[in-house]
Amino acid sequence: MSDRNRSFRLVVNKGAQPLSIAGLYLVTDQGENLVERVRSALRGGVSVLQYRAKHKPPELCRSEGSELKQLCRSFGVSFIVNDDVSLARDLDADGVHLGQDDESVGRAREQLGPGKFIGKSTHNLDEALQAEQEGADYIGFGAMYPTGSKNVTHIPGTAGLSAIRDRVRLPVVAIGGITTSNACRVIDAGADALAVISSVLSSPRPDLSACELRLLFNRQRPFPRGTVLTVAGSDSGGGAGIQADIKTITLLGSYAASVLTALTAQNTRGVSSIHGLPPSFVMDQLDAVLEDIPVDVIKTGMLHTPAIIAALAERLTERQTMTALVIDPVMVAKGGAALMECDATQIFLKQLLPLAYLLTPNIPEAERLLGTRISSEAHMEQAARDLHRLGAANVLIKGGHLAGQHSTDILFDGTECRSFTAERIFTNNTHGTGCSYASAIAAFLAQGEPLGCAVKKAKDFITAAIRMARPLGKGHSPINHFAAVRQR
User: Where in the sequence numbering do the catalytic residues fall?
Assistant: 398, 430, 432-435
Q: Which strands, in side-by-side order, build the sheet including 394-397? A: 270-276, 255-267, 227-235, 297-300, 324-327, 358-359, 394-397, 406-412, 417-423
Nearest to 311 by CA among 285, 337, 342: 285
Could you give the CA distance from residue 232 to residue 243 in angstroms, rounded to a whole number? Answer: 9
- 77 close to 42: Cβ distance less than 8 angstroms: yes
Could you give the CA distance from residue 275 to residue 52 in angstroms, rounded to a whole number? Answer: 55
Q: Which residues does 406 contact at the CB level (< 8 Å), separation at least 6?
A: 421, 422, 423, 424
Question: Read out DSSP for 143-196?
Answer: -SS--SSS------HHHHHHHHHTT--S-EEEESS--TTTHHHHHHTT-SEEEE
Q: Which residues does 381 contact at the CB level (< 8 Å), separation at least 6?
A: 397, 410, 412, 417
Question: Residue 452: CA atoms inside 13 Å, Cβ hemisphere, count?
Answer: 10
Q: Is 88 helix (H, G, I), strand (E, B) or coil?
A: helix
Could you give the CA distance from residue 327 to residue 465 in angstroms, rounded to a whole number? Answer: 21
The CB density around residue 156, as the number of other CB atoms within 10 Å, is: 19
252 sits in which H/E element: none
DSSP for residue 216 = G
DSSP for residue 479 = P
Go through the chain and tell me how many residues it has: 488
Could you give the CA distance from residue 401 to residue 194 in angstroms, rounded to a whole number? Answer: 41
